[in-house]
Structure 1
Amino acid sequence: MTTIDEEALPKTSTVPQSHNEDSRTLALGSFLRAGAVFILLGLMLIGFTIAQPAFINIGNLMSILQAVSVVAILGAGVTVTLAVGGFDLSIGAVAASSVMAASYAMIVWHLDVFATVPLVLAFGAAIGLINALLIVRLRVPDLLATLAMMFLLSGLQLIPTAGRSISAGLVLPDGSKATGAYDPAFLLIGRYSLFATLPVSVVLMAVVAIVLFVLTERTRIGRLLYATGGNEVATRLAGASTTRLKTLAYVISGTLAALGGIVIAARVGRGDVSSGGSLLMDSVAAALIGFAVLNLRRPNVLGTIAGAVFVGVLLNGLTMLNAPYYTQDFVKGAVLVGALALTYGLGRNTDR
């Protein structure tokens, strides 16, 4: 009877090859999910630069950031309300009403920048507080409460001027003529650039992003905001006041919307009744794209800023390539669907 020398047999790996392949697939999927938005952004920058070399000029890049600054600021407000499990549909109407309020304060009431800015910011905070009272005290669903506020503000902003835009020489409904003018210092908010290249509105966007990032990601209040959105009952049982947290979120949202309206008013130099038409959808799109940034799958301020820049780069590039304006909304929608599908679709397939 022959014996088999086990040491002479070829050695085989104890780890199946399929396991290593699965690990590499998971790692690749995790990398793609975390960097999907930045990968696509990099590809767009390269593609638009090749197609139109002027795209990468510092002046054009600054104009992109200036164009998206208002959307990013409003999107940050939407992000905070999403963090507490809510949603603010009135943010675009608050911004548009703030444009009219700032114009009315200077053209009709002859106020200067130091009175107008605090007044408009207080107006936005008051709207946010009313939204919060409807939601947390009267138990009105957030979508219904903010939708009602959106319609209310859209009509209210037209009443003082009988539906006319506000500019120097405005004829009021009583027949009198407004003799005020925009404060030149106020216009600097939307038109001045630091060091001749960095617009003030971009600086404001950066300040809002940093402050809200620290608040939501590095403080106890921020953790409680997310906890409220994740499990309101558990957060309340842990001793936190979810009523105050939700109120804070909507007041921040209203204040940021008013700040966005101030930037718009300072940029255009008049109270245009049609201002703010697309602000709601653009800011919501930025906030939703932010879910895909770094694969966080939750509302986050830096993701929202990245989402706003992403959309701004896309639209600017299409404009420089003379793409028809009527295709822009379709492209924005396709990119939003693609970014979210890439994030959540890969997550479903690779997390198994």
Structure 2
Amino acid sequence: MTTSTPPLSLATIAAQVRRYAIFGLLLAMLIGFGLAEPAFWSVGNAMSVLQAVSVVAILGVGVTVTMAVAGFDLSIGATAASSVMVAGYSMVVWQNGALASVVAVLVLGVAVGLANALLIVKLKVPDLLATLAIMFLLGGLQLIPTAGRSISSGMILPDGSSATGSFSPDFLALGRATLGGVVPLPVVILAVLAVVFYLLTEHTRIGRLLFATGGNELAARLAGAPTARLKVLAYVISASLAALGGALVAARVGRGDVSSGSSLLMDAVAASLIGYAVLDARRPNVAGTVVGAIFVGVLLNGLTMLNAPYYTQDFVKGAVLVGALAMTYGLSRRD
């Protein structure tokens, strides 16, 4: 006796479209750009794309963790930019080595995360207002030691002295070295962090408590979850990852560039929100954030190789974000 398979309903088809659409679009882009420009398929270009999105994805992972507790960190771009300046100042002005400079950057990240947590958790300032205030504070603070100038060897400081230090080769290796002569080190760092935070958020008790806090903080607290500590942890993680991203930027460009973090905030947020559409997750998730960053990176790289005007990039990123969110929520028939 045989049984017939029931026909797929429109709701089921729509659910499958939502679940795999990002991967379908990504595959279509890879094929289309490769046919239009064969160099797009080269290993070197693939590594270039991954290196370009690695910092954005790292910052996006931090944003994702704060979203898990129903928060939002607007200060990540300013934290990354400040980290670029701190790394440069540490080596060029104070003449510290690579290890001391990395430690200084990470200490900055932890301090920023604790400052955000103090405002949000202790003083009950709304997260958007608190992190916006920290963003402006850092944006102005990073300019004061150099009077608004980028940091490079031989620069003249505001007091009239000359900075005689230089970027350590060991530090520069963080942004320029490759594994096996092929895979850039920032890509390796991203892969390790993505796995660690995916496991933390999806397969540990801490991860479940983070999402429980974001879903219903009062119920989580009544159930015994340390919601205040979890929110502190989320903002410290976010700022620390932003600081690490800033260190990777400094190591790649080899100078303390005052404009280095200008687009990182919006790119990281876009990657995090596009992640909502990956596998129809409809919530913050680390894997989706990384896929979202790669999706945008592939799109922009392909357009660049086809000589699309640079001033269209923000429009393209906005269109992709609108499309991803519309696909996630507009096609949904769930309540």
Report Cα offsets for 1:69-128 as digits up to 9, x if no partner: 000000000000000000000000000000000000000111111111111111111100
Aligned residue in 2 for 1:246: 231
The question of 1:115 aligning with 2:100 is answered: yes
In structure 2, what residue type is equivalent to 1:121? L
The question of 1:186 aligning with 2:171 is answered: yes
The one of 84, 87, 105 equivalent to 1:102 is 87
Distance 1:67 1:231 in 2: 36
Q: List structure 1 segments (4+ residues) > 4 angstroms apart after TM superposition.
A: none
Distance 2:146 2:107 in 1: 21
Distance 1:101 1:283 in 2: 21
In structure 1, what residue type is equivalent to 2:17? L
The question of 1:166 aligning with 2:180 is answered: no
Task: Give 1:26 deviation, angstroms.
Answer: 2.6
Aligned residue in 1 for 2:45: 60
Distance 1:160 1:223 in 2: 42
Counterpart contact for 1:36–1:343, Cα < 8 Å: no
Indicate the RMSD between aligned Cα atoms, in angstroms: 1.3
The one of 316, 321, 328 equivalent to 1:336 is 321
Task: Give 1:44 deviation, angstroms.
Answer: 0.6
Aligned residue in 1 for 2:35: 50
Aligned residue in 2 for 1:87: 72
Distance 2:99 2:83 in 1: 15
Query: What is the correspondence of 1:1-352 to structure 2 with a 5 Å cutoff?
Result: 20-21=6-7, 23-348=8-333, 351=334
- Secondary structure of the structure 2 residue equivalent to 1:291: helix
Distance 1:120 1:258 in 2: 6
Distance 1:54 1:138 in 2: 54
Distance 1:25 1:143 in 2: 39
Counterpart contact for 1:190–1:201, Cα < 8 Å: yes
Task: Give 1:20 deviation, angstroms.
Answer: 4.8
- Secondary structure of the structure 1 residue equivalent to 2:331: helix
Aligned residue in 2 for 1:6: none
In structure 2, what residue type is equivalent to 1:177? S
Distance 1:148 1:346 in 2: 36
In structure 2, what residue type is equivalent to 1:328? Q
In structure 2, what residue type is equivalent to 1:261? G
Larger-Rg structure: 1
Distance 2:147 2:70 in 1: 37
Task: Give 1:28 deviation, angstroms.
Answer: 1.7
Task: Give 1:335 deviation, angstroms.
Answer: 1.1
Distance 1:178 1:279 in 2: 28
Report Cα offsets for 1:36-61 as digits up to 9, x if no partner: 11111011101101111110101000
TM-score by length of 2: 0.97
Greater alpha carbon shift after TM alignment, 115-124 vs 254-263? 115-124
Residue-pair matches, total: 332
In structure 2, what residue type is equivalent to 1:206? A
Distance 1:299 1:46 in 2: 29
Distance 1:71 1:109 in 2: 29
Task: Give 1:140 deviation, angstroms.
Answer: 0.4
Counterpart contact for 1:36–1:339, Cα < 8 Å: no
In structure 2, what residue type is equivalent to 1:250? Y
- Secondary structure of the structure 2 residue equivalent to 1:281: helix
Distance 1:217 1:145 in 2: 27
TM-score by length of 1: 0.93
Distance 1:138 1:343 in 2: 35
